[in-house]
A and B are shown apart, each in its own frame.
Chain A
Amino acid sequence: DGGITQSPKYLFRKEGQNVTLSCEQNLNHDAMYWYRQDPGQGLRLIYYSQIVNDFQKGDIAEGYSVSREKKESFPLTVTSAQKNPTAFYLCASSRQGGYTFGSGTRLTVV
């Protein structure tokens, strides 16, 4: 079955650490996206990529980094520069029309 897989489901980070969230899709979609979701805030776009080896900042890119070396993969690194990283992170992909979302990674700073 085609889909988009995020891992891990839960992630705990100590202050000052970088952590990387994985996002893999086998839908052959060109575009991929990372969103952050906080309670009552809806989804905010962190980074997006419309093609391999290219990506663009979204609305809240500070403290995050991404890479797009393969069409199937779009990992997100939450760096120590992100001061409030505790949130639910959602990855999505699209070709045209609707987005397909992963099941999310809940990141908590301990």
Chain B
Amino acid sequence: SQQGEEDPQALSIQEGENATMNCSYKTSINNLQWYRQNSGRGLVHLILIRSNEREKHSGRLRVTLDTSKKSSSLLITASRAADTASYFCATHPGANSKLTFGKGITLSVRP
């Protein structure tokens, strides 16, 4: 079962612009994670935000979490062509459980 649903499904922007991707989920979580996948490769962990956190930064990444709305957003600032990839949100309900992934967002950054 897939809990996280990303929005939009595809996003195309110009280099230098900001990219905002959203994720909604249905049940309570312990944490929410964002991953990146380049074409034909494995996923790379980007950032984890816990249920008691509202915002987290890592370099050009900013993640917010609104547990009342069961939603999260990933912002990539000053995008680069190398940011072109698929991005997945994944929810973690708690101890001894496993991640559930959404279907992903395809981001294209035009040079």
Contact = CB atoms under 8 A, between A and B. Distances in A.
A45 interface: yes
Contacts of A101: 35, 42-45
Contacts of B100: 45
A99 B45 contact: yes
B43 A90 contact: yes
A43 B88 contact: yes
Contact of B2 (A33, A42, A99, A103): A42
A1 to B, nearest CB: 15
A42 B98 contact: no
B91 interface: no
Contacts of A102: 42
Interface residues of B, number: 22
A59 B1 contact: yes
B47 to A, nearest CB: 8
A68 B40 CA distance: 26
A106 to B, nearest CB: 8
Interface of B: 1-2, 31, 33, 35, 40-45, 48, 88, 90, 96, 98-104
Interface of A: 6, 31, 33, 35, 40-45, 48, 50, 58-59, 88, 90, 92, 97-104, 106
